[in-house]
Amino acid sequence: MNLMKSNIYFWLFTVIGFISSSLNAQDLLDTLEKEHPNTPQYEIATFKGTRISLGHSIENRKKGVLEIKAMNLFWNIPNRPSQSFVTDIWTARIALEYSISDRLTFGAGGSTLDGVFDGFLKYKLINQRRDSNTSPFSVTLFQNLSRQTKRYKAFQNANKLQTSFTSQILIARKFTPNFSLQVSPTFIHRGTSAINNDPHNHFAIGIGGRYKVGGHVALVSEYYYVANPIKSKDTYSPFVLGVNWEMSDLLLQFQLTNTRNMVEDIFITQTPNNFNFKDGNFVFGFNATFVLHLNQKRL
Amino acid sequence: MNKIIILLLLFNKLISFNEASNQIIARQGQVSFFSYTSVENIEAKNNQVLSIIDLSKKEIAISMLMNAFEFKKSLMHEHFNESYIESDLHPKATFKGHIIDFDPSLKVQTRIVKGIVVIRNISKEIEVKTEIQNINGKYSIAGNFDLSVKDFEIKIPPLLAPNIAKMIAVKFRFEYEPYEK
């Protein structure tokens, strides 16, 4: 027994001696590898813009960044002898979005269609970590308020103006350097309804993805499913297929879609037509976002 | 028996400690780079660069995290990591080389450091003129050199080519302290 014990010690000693001598002989770069501090490494650029394409992404800009945004949608009116230049209808949303801190963004905008004014707050709750599995997702909270100052044309019955609220929990994961996916549980409260039968509160879920095809170009897609849609009129799920292209301080987002509005509560619950390429259904869009750094870091 | 083994282990540890004490380390080394063009000047600084020198072997190694570079504009940081360096795939840049004719006892000396720099998993041999100071056993080294963007296969879209210089000027400074494991 005693012999066996000392035998174990002997082996232990040899092994430890071997390990420590190999430690001494190791490469300088290997030594440095262990010296890198264990600061958490967060995933960046899950999506490049603050919007996947139309709907919000989990991304916020860093503190002191002002985004100047022009979102445009174009479509044709069906069965109409039209002499319009390029398209029959153009609608735009002009917005300013300012990042108060690295996590909190405030934005406000106005849309030409139906005169919708909207404001939102967006707060980044959780950052996905690259170096460990302790936080596999990024989570951002989104709250907006929108006020319609003109009657919504797609719903002729609506004779009252409405204030609506949209709350979203945006959950995204960057699976690979090229591929990110987002799921967005959404709650929408619409202020008034044309017909009292229509629900005021809607539950919806959005799903969006990004696939990076080059250093500066990505394909994106979005889809929203509404669990309890408006009853008085047929509505359809908004769908977006798009290309994001960024160059320096400018981000361009092109879209093929079926929705005609750019404010969450309206495009999620009140898209009056399905996605196809017929006149009236097919909508082409592009967002131009200019990023202005109001407080630059001093190096 | 137990005591002997503990003694032996301690002795072993002591030897390895003595061997290692010939190494000096810099934990907050500074590396900055500059791209000057008529369109735009881009500047970035990394204050957390690690470097180690083995004084007896005259060897030097440097390692840095690419996403620790700070830019004036936060969007530049994102573009640098996401579109150019791809730090998701290649998080670190390293250098390993020899200090030619290094004499640890001299107070001030200018020496050539020759070695291999690795950025984006692409290796390139470089020679850098370096000023080495030794003030009462505290070593510091500093210098600058140029790197070609092309050598590291960094893709720049034609539209943005005028914004980024073909040669990037790199500046570095490390201050060392004795390395203890």
- Report ipTM (2 d.p.): 0.82
CATH architecture of B23-178: Beta Barrel (2.40)
Q: Going by C-beta distance under 8 Å and a sequence separation of 6 or more, which residues neighbour residue A203? A: A185, A186, A187, A188, A226, A227, A228
Domain identity same for A73 and A26: no
Average pLDDT score over residue span A222-231: 93
Indicate whether A49 belongs to any domain: no
Domain identity same for A93 and A186: yes
Subunit contact B19:A20, Cβ cutoff 8 A: no
Indicate whether A51 belongs to any domain: no
Distance CA B151, CA B148 (A): 6
Phi, psi at B79, each rounded to 5°? -65, -45
When CB atoms are compared, the residue of B16, B88, B155 closest to A24 is B16
Domain identity same for A7 and A151: no
Indicate whether A54 belongs to any domain: no
Indicate whether A299 belongs to any domain: no
Range of the structural domain that residue A12 is part of: 2-35
Domain identity same for A17 and A148: no
How many independent structural domains does chain A possess?
2
Indicate whether A44 belongs to any domain: no
Domain identity same for A157 and A266: yes
Indicate whether A50 belongs to any domain: no
Interface of A with B in 107-166 (CB under 8 A): 130
Sequence-ordered strand ranges (E) for chain A: 65-75, 89-99, 104-111, 116-126, 138-148, 163-174, 179-190, 201-212, 217-226, 239-247, 250-257, 283-293
Subunit contact A65:B19, Cβ cutoff 8 A: no
pLDDT of residue A156: 46
Q: In Å, how far is B108's CA from the nearest CA of chain A?
A: 24
Res. B4 pLDDT band, cuts 50 70 90? low
Look over chain B and give the mean of its residue pLDDT values, rounded to a whole number. 89
CATH code (residue A228): 2.40.160.40
Domain identity same for A148 and A242: yes
Domain identity same for A22 and A133: no
Indicate whether A42 belongs to any domain: no
pLDDT of residue A2: 55
The DSSP code for A42 is B
pLDDT of residue A232: 82
How many other CB atoms sit within 10 Å of the CB of residue B116? 12
Domain identity same for A146 and A204: yes
Which residues of chain B have a CB within 8 Å of the CB of A9?
1-2, 5
Subunit contact A13:B43, Cβ cutoff 8 A: no
Average pLDDT score over residue span A136-144: 96
CB A296 within 8 A of CB B74: no
Structure token digits, residue A97:
């979005």
- Which of A232-236, B77-81, B175-179 shows the lowest mean pLDDT across its residues? A232-236
CA dist list (Å): A188 to A182, A195, A268: 18, 17, 9
CA dist list (Å): B84 to A65, A246, A248: 22, 13, 12
Distance CA B89, CA A190 (A): 45
Structure token digits, residue A110:
């106005």
Q: Is the pLDDT of residue B10 over 60?
A: no
Q: Going by C-beta distance under 8 Å and a sequence separation of 6 or more, which residues neighbour residue A115? A: A148, A149, A150
Domain identity same for A102 and A166: yes
Indicate whether A55 belongs to any domain: no
Give, for B59, the enclosing helix (H) or strand (E).
Answer: strand B59-65
When CB atoms are compared, the residue of B5, B32, B73 closest to A296 is B73
Domain identity same for A209 and A288: yes
Q: In Å, how far is B135's CA from the nearest CA of chain A?
A: 24
A28 in reach of chain B (CB within 8 A): yes
**Domain ranges within chain B, ordered by starting residue:** 23-178
Which residues of chain B have a CB within 8 Å of the CB of A249?
75
Q: Is the pLDDT of residue A95 over 50?
A: yes
Q: In Å, how far is A181's CA from the nearest CA of chain B?
A: 17
Among the listed residues A188, A185, A156, the one whose alpha carbon sits nearest the alpha carbon of residue A170? A185
Distance CA B44, CA B31 (A): 8
Domain identity same for A7 and A114: no
Task: Please state the three-class secondary structure of A103-130 as a single string.
Answer: CEEEEEEEECHHHEEEEEEEEEEECCEC
> In this predicted model, which residue has the larger pLDDT, A127 or A247?
A127
Q: For the segment A33-53, what is each residue's pLDDT rounded down to a tens digit? A: 888 888 888 999 999 899 999
B21 has which bridge partners?
A: none
Model confidence, pTM: 0.84
> In this predicted model, which residue has the larger pLDDT, A234 or B7?
A234
When CB atoms are compared, the residue of B13, B62, B81 closest to A44 is B81
Domain identity same for A81 and A27: no
Q: For the segment A106-117, what is each residue's pLDDT rounded down to a tens digit? A: 999 999 988 899
